[in-house]
């Protein structure tokens, strides 16, 4: 049981390049999330998916797109990377059954540098 | 909308000393509260959560937190810390009502984090 996995672990991009961050969970969770973590800013929600087939914007969605490929996988795409997107990106998932509150399980993160 | 304030960005303590990491929140609705820990170069893991019931919540690794509704606080405490507790700690809040009506997908709002350094 691997939990939440993310690829790649590290990535360096030049300004204007595109890339997709991959996330997969094997816990049969309904909801998945993408966060970015910047020094002194805590974690900020980029996008989330309440269930397969749905996605919604979080606090900082500009410059990103997401795809909930199936129940297991939730990808984050940077179409034209900018230095302001240099950050550590975390994917998370939760069971999120109605009337229950379940914790979010986090992946190990992807450290992205845009030069 | 909710917000979370962690009052200390860094807390240095000596091993075996007690520690308190402070968290205040702001919300116009009822909330759920969480503390997460992040060890160096790792993801976040849940320490403890307050959903309802007793206001004193016990978590993993000997940590506990107390929900104080009148002071809108959820401070984290440990009576005796170890070197291995060195990490960054995040307080988070979610909207209780939104979760129930939307049928899922809690949206967590995180504080900016407190770096706990335990020195020998």
Inter-chain CB proximity A45 and B107 less than 8 Å: yes
The shortest CB-CB distance from B51 to any of A44, A101, A106 is to: A101
Query: Of the given ranges (A52-56, A64-68, B111-115), which has the lowest mean pLDDT?
Result: A52-56
Inter-chain CB proximity A90 and B112 less than 8 Å: no
B114-119 and B10-14 as β-strands: parallel, antiparallel, unpaired?
parallel
Reported confidence tier of residue B117, pLDDT bands at 50, 70, 90: very high
- Which residues does chain A have within 8 Å of residue B102's beta carbon, measured at their own beta carbons? 50
Q: Would you say how long chain A is, in residues? A: 115
Question: Minimal CA–CA distance to A68: which of A43, A104, A32?
Answer: A32
Chains A & B: contacts with CB separation below 8 Å: 69
pLDDT attached to residue B31: 85
The overall average pLDDT reported for chain B is: 90
pLDDT of A101 over the 90 cut: no
The larger pLDDT score, comparing residue A100 to residue B75, is at: B75
Q: Give the number of other Cβ atoms within 10 Å of residue B6's Cβ.
A: 21
pLDDT of A2 over the 90 cut: no
pLDDT attached to residue A24: 97
DSSP state for residue B62 in the 8-state scheme: G
Average pLDDT, integer, range B8-35? 93
Percentage of chain B beyond pLDDT 70 is 91
Average pLDDT, integer, range B81-107? 78
pLDDT attached to residue B107: 79
Task: Give the residues across from B73 on adjacent strands.
Answer: B24, B68
pLDDT of B14 over the 70 cut: yes
Is A17 an interface residue toward B (CB < 8 Å)? no
pLDDT attached to residue B1: 76
The overall average pLDDT reported for chain A is: 92
pLDDT attached to residue A95: 83
pLDDT attached to residue B28: 80
Q: Give the DSSP letter string of A8-31.
A: -SEEEE-TT--EEEEEEESS--SE
- Residue B83 structure tokens: 């070197």
């Amino acid at each position: 049981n691997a939990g939440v996995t993310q690829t790649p672990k590290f990535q360096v991009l030049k300004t204007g390049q595109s890339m997709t961050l991959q996330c997969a969970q094997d816990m049969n969770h309904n909801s998945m999330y993408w966060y970015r973590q910047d020094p002194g800013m805590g974690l900020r929600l980029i996008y989330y998916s309440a269930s397969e087939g749905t996605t919604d914007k979080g606090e900082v969605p500009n410059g990103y797109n997401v795809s909930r490929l199936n129940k297991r996988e939730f990808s984050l795409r940077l179409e034209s990377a900018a230095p302001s997107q240099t950050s550590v990106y975390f994917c998370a998932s939760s069971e999120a059954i109605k009337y229950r509150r379940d914790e979010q399980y986090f992946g190990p993160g992807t450290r992205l540098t845009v030069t | 909308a909710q917000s979370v304030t962690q009052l200390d960005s860094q807390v240095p303590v000596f091993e075996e000393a007690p520690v308190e990491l402070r968290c205040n929140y702001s919300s116009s609705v009822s909330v759920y509260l969480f503390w997460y820990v992040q060890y160096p170069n790792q993801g976040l893991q849940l320490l403890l959560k307050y959903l309802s019931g007793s206001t004193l919540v016990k978590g993993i690794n000997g940590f506990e937190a107390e929900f104080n509704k009148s002071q809108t606080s959820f401070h984290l405490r440990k009576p005796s810390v170890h070197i291995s507790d060195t990490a960054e700690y995040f307080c988070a809040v979610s909207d209780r009502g939104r979760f129930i009506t939307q049928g899922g997908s809690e949206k967590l709002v995180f504080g900016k984090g407190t770096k706990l350094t335990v020195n020998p």
